[in-house]
Structure 1
Amino acid sequence: MTTDPIATTLAALDLVADPADPDQFTGPSLPRPNGRVFGGQVIAQSLLAAGRTVPEGRLPHSMHGYFLRAGDDREPITFAVERLRDGRSFTARRTHALQGGVPILSMIASFQEEQPGLDYDEPMPRGVPGPEELTSAFELFAQVDHPVAKFWVDEVAFDLRHVGPPIYLRPDPHHERELGGRQMIWMRSRGPLPDDPMLHRAMLAFACDQVMLEPILRRSGRSWSTPGLSIASLDHAMWWHRDVRVDEWLLYVQSTPNAHGGRGLGAARVFRQDGSLVASIAQEGMVRVPLD
């Protein structure tokens, strides 16, 4: 039986409201090979839960969250929203994602109604090959006989295409420290999504967690298959600058300014194909590898 990754993901993001509490919701988890809740999923669900309590017409422009515990993908998640502020233009909400009565994620998000103002952005890098010129991650994983590779091909909702060598199976042979771990990836959902701007912003948060820590591995000359690698998201910060559709190609321009003490920091700017900057993202993660 073939699954539809988009339909499965949308079903997980369709939270159920608690009839006794308008600020509490429940959602399932998508299955993962390691049995842990995917961080991007719980970020997106927490954001959507907060959005359900916000005045109509206000969309998220920023969020800051901490991953506090590993979640169990076999158990549902409760999302408890706290109404911090409703101003004339901005709304602030805190969401706790709970399993077993304890938080696995705590997030604050700010929402704003559309307003006029200053308008400029950093330009997209020039001369970047388009996604049609690059190899999809699905093509690479289809050639690998491994349960994780099969999971990617069958279950992952986003198509990733690296500009330059991917580091799924082996390190970047051309990595150099002075390049700062810079990499570029095109990403798009595997199918069309509803015309819901709140959903697209949440799905961008969902998708980016797949790649935010990868520059740390690239800069250090490691790959995702490095023996003894232990990696996990610690916190996540995100700013949406403009409307975005994740069922259209987006370019992630990534870097890593620092790694120290078993932690590394990843950063990304996300561009539409027309060159508009739609989001900026930062994430710190625990990255532990056997030292040479």
Structure 2
Amino acid sequence: MINSKELIALLNLEDLGNHNFSGNSVTIGSPNVFGGQVIAQAVNAAYKTIPENRILHSLHAYFLEAGDLTTRINYHVQEVRNGGSFSTRRVTASQKDKTIFILAASFHKQEDGFEHQATFDATIKQPEKLLSWDDMLEKFGDFLPKSMKYFLSIERPIEFKPVRIPNPLQPENLPPTEQVWFRLKGEKQEMDFRTKQEILAYISDYNILNAAFNPNASNHNFGNTQTASLDHSMWFFRDFDFDDWMLYCVESPNAFGAKGLSKGNIFTRDGKLIASVAQEGLLRPIKK
């Protein structure tokens, strides 16, 4: 995938009837299906059973098995509840009769109410002053570890610019935080709020576990640690557009017992909070 149009096509599932849907997978550089893809496709499946006047406000998911990139994923949607204000769906993703993922999602009719939000750091370095993953590959590719060079060389529909770039040749322990600017590649696409939420869910699985690695980065990294997303929760707040850069601010309050917890907020460039995310991931040191 090289642009947002191809990403939208990937996330839009084939309708098989009776609340069953099916989709393909595209690698992001790992040997298994990207968790963000499964989340976003499951949201797409759930939305196909939801009335037009209801919007996704939260999701809670568990990754049960690694997904096979060569096999289509089937999604089954169960209508758990249709209330006066909320609708709830349960989505089960499977391959070869094996359940690999489950999602619970809640949808809410739009209502007015009071509001507040987390503070946005207006002093953070702007994306124009930062290197993207593509820039890093071009500038430092000959000096990067082989696995990192391969990961950065994969074509993606999203451009990422981390605020802090650690030196992989001189790793050091860092604060348990991660801030990454991101935007979609390609020409602007007209999207409804549902499609924007699916894409944001896809992006939310990128970079989030970095914060859990950082306090022990002098000794542990993705090369010597077995990693996997275990669960993923997300809350959607305000409508937004993908016209400009957005900022993913993540912090990790804990790592223990071969697991790490990260939580984050996603802001528009002008400081509007559009979503919050939480994920626990497997961080199992590989024994030599």
TM-score, with length taken from structure 2: 0.91
Against the structure 1 CA distance between its residues 91 and 172, is the aligned structure 2 distance closer, same or farther, given a 3 Å change threshold? farther
Against the structure 1 CA distance between its residues 77 and 148, is the aligned structure 2 distance closer, same or farther, given a 3 Å change threshold? farther
- Tell me if structure 2 keeps the 8 A contact 1:91–1:110: yes
**Post-superposition offset of 1:161:** 0.9
- What secondary structure, in the 3-state scheme, does the structure 1 residue paired with 2:125 have? coil
- Tell me if structure 1 keeps the 8 A contact 2:265–2:273: yes
Against the structure 1 CA distance between its residues 172 and 117, is the aligned structure 2 distance closer, same or farther, given a 3 Å change threshold? farther
Question: Given the alignment, which residue of 141, 144, 161 partners 2:141?
Answer: 144
2:211 corresponding residue in structure 1: 215
Q: Counterparts of 1:190 and 1:144 in 2: how far apart (Å)? A: 21
- What secondary structure, in the 3-state scheme, does the structure 2 residue paired with 1:155 have? coil
- What secondary structure, in the 3-state scheme, does the structure 2 residue paired with 1:141 have? helix
Show CA shifts across 1:185-238 (max 9, x none): 111111333322111111111011111101011121258855422111000000
User: What is the root-mean-square deviation in Å for CA atoms of aligned residues?
Assistant: 2.2
Q: Counterparts of 2:121 and 2:170 in 1: how far apart (Å)? A: 24
- Tell me if structure 2 keeps the 8 A contact 1:123–1:276: no
**Post-superposition offset of 1:91:** 0.8
Q: Counterparts of 1:30 and 1:57 in 2: how far apart (Å)? A: 31
- Tell me if structure 1 keeps the 8 A contact 2:72–2:95: yes
2:12 corresponding residue in structure 1: 14
Of 80-89 and 153-162, deviating more is: 153-162
Determine if the alignment matches structure 1 residue 157 to structure 2 residue 157.
Answer: yes
Q: Counterparts of 2:90 and 2:170 in 1: how far apart (Å)? A: 39
Against the structure 1 CA distance between its residues 48 and 160, is the aligned structure 2 distance closer, same or farther, given a 3 Å change threshold? same
Q: Counterparts of 1:227 and 1:147 in 2: how far apart (Å)? A: 7
Instruction: Give the share of equivalent positions with the same residue, in percent.
Output: 33
**Post-superposition offset of 1:160:** 1.0
1:63 corresponding residue in structure 2: 59
2:278 corresponding residue in structure 1: 282
Q: Counterparts of 1:109 and 1:260 in 2: how far apart (Å)? A: 28
- The code of the aligned residue for 2:13 comes to L
Show CA shifts across 1:31-73 (max 9, x none): 3443311000000000110011001121111000000000001
Provide structure 1 residue ranges, at least 5 long, that are not aligned to the other structure: none
The number of equivalent residue pairs is 283
2:77 corresponding residue in structure 1: 81
- Tell me if structure 2 keeps the 8 A contact 1:161–1:187: yes
Determine if the alignment matches structure 1 residue 123 to structure 2 residue 124.
Answer: no
Provide structure 2 residue ranges, at least 5 long, that are not aligned to the other structure: none
Q: Counterparts of 2:166 and 2:158 in 1: how far apart (Å)? A: 16
**Post-superposition offset of 1:267:** 0.8
**Post-superposition offset of 1:171:** 6.4
Against the structure 1 CA distance between its residues 77 and 223, is the aligned structure 2 distance closer, same or farther, given a 3 Å change threshold? farther
**Post-superposition offset of 1:82:** 0.3
Determine if the alignment matches structure 1 residue 238 to structure 2 residue 234.
Answer: yes
TM-score, with length taken from structure 1: 0.89
